[in-house]
Chain A
């Protein structure tokens, strides 16, 4: 299970980083979302991966570490708000600037390319 889990996190992170490096706003928002999923999974695993343990404290002797669950919950909420904000900002940038390039340099180069 550990292997599957870590491969999942790794693939999500690498996809996220790749998309962020595209330097266009829509792929970046997708990339950030993937990165935050990976981060949430990673945070969750910091309490160790266990099976057949109580999720909440009860009379059961064995229980999963409750703190990472609380941390993940907070991180999810914050990540959700941040994603919403970045989408709105990306839409506004698209409307204001007429293109979705995040980096100014790219835009200039592309214009020169288009003229040729």
Chain B
């Protein structure tokens, strides 16, 4: 079973190719069944891998049996595999949701979703910087196509901006990789982490430039402050089911920051240790503030949800820049939670928008939502979870975050984070109250509104259930997060594994 590590990447690739072939390409029904069952198998593979890592510790896999640092190594630790499982689960829910009809409004939805999943899983599992670039491109080109899926005129411009921005980002990524290889002579993340501490004089500055460029690229993907402008526009222009799936994409950037920052610029790695920590920290705080303002200023629900993603990105990067185990553990818990909750909110908003007729998802008085109770409960629960109110998982995440930032120099975090939560609560409550309660008339009987399909309800409520479940099993999950965080921070001991020694 040593090839199990590669399967989370290979299986989506094969299933995407299979979905393009005649039996699936022709019949919608077969395609849907095949797509969903492939994702269930894929989720099973990820969970098997997760169990194996829990039993045996970190696994590494030399692709083509070329040993690292020259070959490409896949590196499966708890953090990476829990995120691939998360991505697969999220994709499964989105695909089930899309089976109500969203998948046929454009072509090739199912294969593209699987390609996107392949890119995301690859980016999580790879232990090589250049391979990370390749998987970034795989997930990006799938996301470009998904973004214009069933797009009308207004979405095309947003898509064009997103594509151009990411192409420039890729160019910067390559420059960073070139500089890094030129100075350090290796692109394996663990190997770079070791060699970077042995650099002398001028090489240190070159490595610093390379590292800064890398962090800039990841900040662009993860939507850190000056580089977050693309996110609200892109996400609110994508189809909601696609936007829900994109919730994992900013997390890829954040994952890369956590991974690269902790293994290459850990406090122990000599003169480059904790490089740019202050910049990341203040940029992250500013991201939280700007995201919160965005939430309050949003005129429609999709913009509101996109800005919530910006806030969560800010919180996560602030935690990543702290470089200690507690903060990373809190970040892992919060990352899993916020990804699923933001995705749920997008799916929920889609249902609300279709039932409100012309007003769609704008936050203003309009026709009442037809299935007000059903969608109202889903919206209520997710909104409370995303803000972090007590009975739900957001609160546990918040407590972990506040506990991690309690000591020392991170005092600025508390007032900003708590105030931002209050404002988020106000913003989300206002939106919910207006959408559900401020209605023009009660002529529901006259108009013929499309009811939520049972698949859509199933997908939304499966995702809604996650938040209460994460509270009920809070203890095992936090222990798991702590274990995963310890694996990230004690990567030096594990670097022998990856280098095949």
Q: Which residues of A contact B130 (CB under 8 A)?
A: 71, 74
B167 and A89: CB pair below 8 A?
Answer: no
**A62 contacts the other chain (CB 8 A):** no
B144 and A85: CB pair below 8 A?
Answer: yes
A78-B134, A96-B153, A104-B157 known; A86 and B163 CB under 8 Å?
yes
* A: contact size bracket: 20 to 34
9 A–B contacts, CB within 8 A, in A order: A40-B174, A71-B178, A74-B134, A81-B141, A82-B170, A86-B164, A93-B160, A97-B156, A102-B160
B181 and A46: CB pair below 8 A?
Answer: yes
Which residues 65-91 in A have Cβ within 8 Å of B in the complex?
A: 67-68, 71, 74-75, 78-79, 81-82, 85-86, 89-90
Kindly supply a per-residue 1/0 record for chain A positions 10-49, scoring 1 wherever the CB is within 8 Å of any chain B CB and 0 otherwise: 0000000000100001001000100110011011011110
Chain A: CB-nearest residue to B182: A46
Q: Which residues of B contact A53 (CB under 8 A)?
A: none
* B: contact size bracket: 20 to 34
Chain A: CB-nearest residue to B138: A78
Summarize A's interface: helix, strand, loop or mixed.
helix
Q: How far is the CB of A72 from chain B (nearest CB, A)?
A: 9
Q: Which residues of A contact B70 (CB under 8 A)?
A: 67
- Whole-angstrom CA separation of A90 from B162 in the bound complex: 12
- Whole-angstrom CA separation of A45 from B178 in the bound complex: 8
**B148 contacts the other chain (CB 8 A):** yes
Q: Which residues of B contact A82 (CB under 8 A)?
A: 137, 141, 167, 170
Closest 8 CB pairs of A and B: A46-B182, A46-B178, A43-B178, A96-B153, A39-B174, A96-B156, A46-B181, A93-B156
**B116 contacts the other chain (CB 8 A):** no
Which residues 168-191 in B have Cβ within 8 Å of A in the complex?
A: 168, 170-171, 174-175, 177-179, 181-182
Q: How far is the CB of B487 from chain A (nearest CB, A)?
A: 28
B168 and A32: CB pair below 8 A?
Answer: yes
A71 and B181: CB pair below 8 A?
Answer: yes
Summarize B's interface: helix, strand, loop or mixed.
helix
- Whole-angstrom CA separation of A90 from B174 in the bound complex: 24
User: How many CB-defined contacts (below 8 Å) exist between A and B?
Assistant: 84
**B159 contacts the other chain (CB 8 A):** yes
**B161 contacts the other chain (CB 8 A):** yes
Q: How far is the CB of B263 from chain A (nearest CB, A)?
A: 20
B179 and A46: CB pair below 8 A?
Answer: yes
A74-B130, A74-B134, A97-B157 known; A89 and B163 CB under 8 Å?
yes
Chain A: CB-nearest residue to B162: A89
* Additional 10 contacts, C-beta under 8 A, given A71-B177, A74-B130: A39-B174, A43-B174, A43-B177, A43-B178, A68-B181, A71-B178, A86-B160, A90-B160, A96-B153, A97-B156
- Whole-angstrom CA separation of A14 from B311 in the bound complex: 34
A42-B175, A43-B178 known; A93 and B167 CB under 8 Å?
no
Q: Which residues of A contact B160 (CB under 8 A)?
A: 25, 86, 89-90, 93, 102
Chain A: CB-nearest residue to B140: A82
- Whole-angstrom CA separation of A15 from B178 in the bound complex: 20
- Whole-angstrom CA separation of A25 from B157 in the bound complex: 10
Q: Which residues of B contact A48 (CB under 8 A)?
A: 182
A89 and B181: CB pair below 8 A?
Answer: no
- Whole-angstrom CA separation of A28 from B181 in the bound complex: 29
Cross-interface CB contact of B171 among A39, A67, A102, cutoff 8 Å: A39
A39 and B178: CB pair below 8 A?
Answer: yes
Q: Which residues of A contact B179 (CB under 8 A)?
A: 46
Chain B: CB-nearest residue to A41: B178
- Whole-angstrom CA separation of A46 from B174 in the bound complex: 11
Chain A: CB-nearest residue to B160: A93
